[in-house]
Chain A
Amino acid sequence: QVPLVQSGTEVKKPGASVKMSCKASAYTFTNYYIHWLRLAPGRGLEWVGKIDFHAGNTIYAQSFQGRVTITRDSSTSSVYMELTSLTFDDMATYYCARVKWELPPYFDYWGQGTRLTVSS
Chain B
Amino acid sequence: EIVLTQSPGTLSLSPGEGATLSCRASHSISSNHLAWYQLKPGQAPRLFIYGASSRAAGIADRFSGSGSGKDFTLTISRLEPEDFAVYYCQQYATPPVTFGQGTKLELK
A16 within 8 A of B: no
Q: Which of A44, A104, A109, A111 contacts B88 (CB 8 A)?
A: A44
Chain B contacts of A105 at CB under 8 A? Answer: 92, 95, 97
* CA distance in complex: A39, B47 (Å): 16
Bin chain A's interface residue count.
20 to 34
Q: A110 and B92 in contact (CB under 8 A), knowing A44-B100, A44-B102, A104-B33?
A: no
> Digit string of B14-37 for contact with A (CB within 8 Å is 1, else 0)?
000000000000000001010101
* CA distance in complex: A44, B89 (Å): 11
Do A107 and B33 touch (CB < 8 A)? no
The prevalent SS among residues of B at the interface is loop
B72 within 8 A of A: no
Q: A46 and B45 in contact (CB under 8 A), knowing A39-B39, A104-B33?
A: no
Q: Residue on B with the closest CB to A111?
A: B44
Which among A47, A61, A106, A111 has the highest number of chain B CB atoms within 10 Å? A106
Do A47 and B47 touch (CB < 8 A)? no
* CA distance in complex: A62, B98 (Å): 13
Q: Which of B46, B95, B101 contacts A110 (CB 8 A)?
A: B46
* CA distance in complex: A112, B100 (Å): 20
What is the CB-to-nearest-CB distance from A64 to chain B, in angstroms, rounded to a whole number? Answer: 10
Binding site for B on A (CB under 8 A): 2, 4, 39, 44-47, 61-62, 95, 97, 104-113
Binding site for A on B (CB under 8 A): 31, 33, 35, 37, 39, 42-47, 50-51, 56, 88, 90, 92-93, 95-102
Sampled A-B contacts (10; CB under 8 Å) = A4-B44, A44-B99, A44-B101, A45-B88, A47-B98, A95-B45, A105-B92, A105-B97, A107-B37, A108-B47
